[in-house]
């Protein structure tokens, strides 16, 4: 199969191919969309080099890889665009033009020839995607050093056709607790739940700041530093505007006497709701405003035809109450002729780090035993 790969210099150059491949491929998530990744690039590109690759067969787009070159000490790394903040990543393929295996093989051959000294570090590949198995097959056939390791876990649930069916999926005691909390909250004042909040003047700053205040309360109670009060806050403001413009944002808010006391910030792609951020006013914790807002979001989403709810990375205990399955993400790395920095990074991340951690544990245990406190 004759496949040609060319590098596109700007997002504008790539947009038509990108959107075409997004529509043709059944695997991509919201985190492979231009609204998310271009906004990420606008805020996090310093020191990075854009690497947007189009794979064509007889002039027809067959694949698209949104990648970047990132600096690492003593070398460089080829990564998915958005690595770090993106909960999933994927190579886009139109299998009506070329089969996925051929496209990914051609792409990896191109990368291995073009950036031979790099560390190739592809993170957050979902286990439900066929991409990882193809990458592993390619590495075995090309005899390059590679590693595939579990990364994050994303709790999900398949949504039924009706809210009544979903209610039956929840524990009766859990659903009853949400209802009691909502009744207590309504005793405190006027409660209004808005399906999708948007600023009347088009400026997302004030609304982002309201959400940031709620999030800061929660993080301070955990002893953590609030995330949205620095550069990440500017990114959030812009991603709210970008995804609202493309119809990919769902921002559900719960108001008490006109004041926002809970929100659910979600992104939409096809029939999936991706729950990215949530927070509530700690003053009303005992009424469960976050649970009330989330239940409303799910009931509204089911009525609108969404069929999957994804709570994204992290295994926090509360997620078990809402979901019933897990998506395991994986990290795939390989090297060809690595620079010293890439060689060190590959070995450290694939084996040395674990050994160092085990060694540190043994050293602490040894100190404990020598102190006499170990019996």
Does residue 58 belong to any structural domain of this protein?
yes
Shared domain for 252 and 288, answered yes or no, is: yes
Shared domain for 342 and 297, answered yes or no, is: no
Mean pLDDT, range 166-174, rounded to an integer: 96
* DSSP reduced 3-state for 37: helix
Shared domain for 18 and 37, answered yes or no, is: yes
pLDDT one-digit tens code per residue, 6-59: 999 999 999 999 999 999 999 999 999 999 999 999 999 999 999 999 999 999
In 69-130, where does DSSP find H-type helix?
100-114
User: Cα torsion for 250, 255, 261, 262, to the nearest 10°?
Assistant: -30
Work out the mean pLDDT of the chain and round it to a whole number.
93
Helix and strand numbers (H, E) in the chain are 11, 13
Shared domain for 82 and 119, answered yes or no, is: yes
Does residue 314 belong to any structural domain of this protein?
no
* DSSP reduced 3-state for 349: helix
Compute the distance between CA of residue 260 and CA of residue 280 in angstroms, rounded to an integer.
8
Shared domain for 168 and 273, answered yes or no, is: yes
* Domain housing 278: 160-306
Total domains in the fold of the chain:
2
Is residue 346 packed enough to be buried (19+ CB in 10 Å), middle (13-18) or exposed (0-12)? buried
Nearest to 332 by CA among 124, 144, 179, 175: 124
Compute the distance between CA of residue 370 and CA of residue 236 in angstroms, rounded to an integer.
50
Read off the CATH number of the domain in which 291 is found.
3.40.630.30
Mean pLDDT, range 91-104, rounded to an integer: 98
Please say whether the beta carbons of 312 and 87 come within 8 A: yes
Compute the distance between CA of residue 273 and CA of residue 254 in angstroms, rounded to an integer.
18
Shared domain for 66 and 183, answered yes or no, is: no
Does residue 198 belong to any structural domain of this protein?
yes
Q: Name the phi and psi angles at 81, rounded to 5.
A: -60, 135
Neighbouring residues of 68: CB distance < 8 A, sequence distance ≥ 6: 41, 45, 48, 49, 50, 51, 78, 79, 80, 81, 83
Does residue 322 belong to any structural domain of this protein?
no
Percent of the chain with pLDDT over 90: 87
Neighbouring residues of 35: CB distance < 8 A, sequence distance ≥ 6: 239, 242, 243, 245, 246, 248
pLDDT one-digit tens code per residue, 341-368: 999 999 999 988 776 665 555 456 556 4
Kindly tell me if the per-residue pLDDT of 231 is higher than 90.
no
* DSSP reduced 3-state for 312: coil
Does residue 318 belong to any structural domain of this protein?
no
Shared domain for 135 and 166, answered yes or no, is: no
Does residue 69 belong to any structural domain of this protein?
yes
Shared domain for 200 and 121, answered yes or no, is: no
Nearest to 148 by CA among 129, 121, 128: 121
pLDDT one-digit tens code per residue, 119-162: 999 999 999 999 999 999 999 999 999 999 999 999 999 999 99
Shared domain for 260 and 334, answered yes or no, is: no
Kindly tell me if the per-residue pLDDT of 223 is higher than 80.
no
Shared domain for 115 and 227, answered yes or no, is: no
Does residue 324 belong to any structural domain of this protein?
no
pLDDT one-digit tens code per residue, 316-329: 999 999 999 999 99
Shared domain for 145 and 9, answered yes or no, is: yes
What pLDDT score was predicted for residue 258? 96
Shared domain for 290 and 191, answered yes or no, is: yes
Does residue 286 belong to any structural domain of this protein?
yes
What pLDDT score was predicted for residue 366? 54
């Amino acid at each position: 199969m004759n496949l040609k790969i060319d590098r596109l210099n700007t997002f504008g150059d790539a947009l038509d191919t990108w959107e075409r491949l997004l529509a043709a491929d059944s695997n991509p998530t919201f985190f492979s969309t231009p609204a998310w990744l271009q906004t990420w690039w606008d805020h996090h590109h310093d020191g990075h080099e854009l690497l947007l690759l189009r794979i064509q067969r007889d002039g027809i787009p067959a694949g698209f890889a949104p990648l970047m070159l990132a600096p690492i000490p003593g070398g460089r790394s080829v990564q998915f665009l958005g690595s770090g903040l993106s909960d999933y990543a994927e190579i886009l393929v139109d299998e009506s033009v070329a089969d996925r295996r051929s496209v990914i093989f051609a792409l990896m051959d191109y990368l291995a020839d073009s950036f031979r000294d790099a560390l190739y570090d592809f993170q957050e590949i979902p286990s439900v995607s066929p991409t990882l198995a193809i990458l592993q097959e390619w590495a075995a056939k090309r005899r390059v050093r590679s590693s595939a390791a579990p990364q994050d876990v994303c709790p999900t649930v398949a949504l039924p056709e009706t809210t009544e069916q979903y209610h039956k999926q929840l524990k009766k005691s859990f659903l009853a607790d949400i209802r009691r909390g909502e009744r207590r909250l309504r005793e405190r004042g006027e409660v209004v739940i808005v399906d999708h909040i948007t600023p009347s003047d088009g400026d997302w700053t004030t609304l982002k700041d309201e959400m940031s205040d709620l999030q800061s309360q929660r993080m301070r109670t955990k002893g953590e530093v609030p995330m949205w009060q620095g550069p990440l806050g500017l990114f959030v403001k812009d991603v709210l505007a970008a995804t609202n413009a493309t119809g990919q944002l769902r921002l559900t808010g719960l108001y008490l006497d006109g004041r926002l006391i809970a929100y659910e910030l979600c992104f939409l792609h096809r029939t999936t709701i991706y729950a990215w951020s949530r927070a509530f006013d700690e003053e009303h914790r005992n009424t469960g405003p976050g649970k009330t807002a989330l239940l409303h979001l799910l009931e509204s989403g089911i009525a609108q035809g969404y069929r999957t709810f994804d709570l994204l990375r992290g295994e926090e205990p509360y997620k078990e109450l809402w979901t019933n399955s897990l998506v395991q993400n994986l990290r795939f790395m390989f090297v060809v002729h690595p620079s010293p920095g890439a060689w060190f990074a590959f070995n450290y991340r694939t084996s040395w780090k674990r050994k160092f951690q085990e060694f540190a544990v043994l050293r602490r245990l040894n100190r404990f035993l020598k102190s006499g406190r170990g019996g």
